[in-house]
Every structure is written in structure tokens, then in C-alpha cells.
Amino acid sequence: MSSSNDQVQITCFEIIREENGKPVIGPNPYDTKLKMDEKFQVLFENWYKHTNPSAPLNNFEFLYWPHGLGHGNQCQRLQENQTPEDVHMRERAKIYAKRKDLDCDVNTEPSTSLMA
């Protein structure tokens, strides 16, 4: 079990568009650390301030694909009141910010090779 002093290194990519149904991520990921017991709301707000996207923050959803046994690699939509500990994040994690009105496949984790 993680202690509250542990941190997770998070890279947050923005899905900026879709091509042939697949998500395309932007070229400038946001890197940060978050305490395991810190709410994702802090990450979402800091990402928004750092990247300054054209849409309001509440127009985005934040997606996470857990890796490892038993997770099935299914997308989780992160909530503001959740913590990395709640979703069993490890030392490093990738999160994807997607506009809610952008229609693209989120059944599999976006590939970083599909960067704009």
C-alpha cells in the first residue's frame, strides 16, 4: 500500500483531433508530480493553466488506461475528487485530456506515435 508521501510522475497529453477514428495527441505534453493522496482536481487545474486550451476546463474529460494484471487495459474517466491512490496508479502514469465533444475511439490507449 502506498503512503501519502509517495508521488506519481504524470504526463498529461491532450487529444487534439481524430484521424480515421483514432485520437491524435498534441505535441506539448504537460509533466508534473502528484501526491498519491492528492485530488485530481489539482492536476486538471494546473494542466489547464499550463496549456491554456481554447475550451473551458469543464469541456474536458481526463482518461487513464491502467496497465498491469487484472486491469484489462480499459479506459477510466478520472473524476476531480479521485486520487492516484484511488485508481491504483504506479510511479509513472499517462493521462489524456479530451474535449467531451470530440468523437474518437477511446477503447484503446492513444499512441504517442500519433502526435500532431
The answer to the question of residue 112 being in a domain is no
pLDDT at 72: 59
The answer to the question of residue 30 being in a domain is yes
Q: Which of 19, 20, 43, 39 lies closest to 31 in space, CA to CA?
A: 43
- Number of structural domains (the chain) is 1
Distance CA 107, CA 101 (A): 16
Taking only the tens of pLDDT, the chain with its 116 residues reads 445 469 999 999 999 998 888 889 998 999 999 999 999 999 999 999 999 888 899 999 999 988 765 555 688 999 999 999 999 998 999 999 999 999 888 888 887 766 76
The answer to the question of residue 69 being in a domain is yes
The answer to the question of residue 115 being in a domain is no
CATH of the domain at 27: 3.10.20.90
CA 46 vs CA 12, 37, 41, 115: distances in Å: 11, 16, 9, 22
The answer to the question of residue 105 being in a domain is no
pLDDT at 80: 97
pLDDT at 77: 95
The contacts of residue 11 (CB under 8 Å, 6+ apart) are 29, 30, 31, 92, 93, 94, 95
The answer to the question of residue 2 being in a domain is no
pLDDT at 70: 53
pLDDT at 63: 96
Range of the domain at 47: 7-99
The answer to the question of residue 38 being in a domain is yes
The answer to the question of residue 40 being in a domain is yes
pTM: 0.87
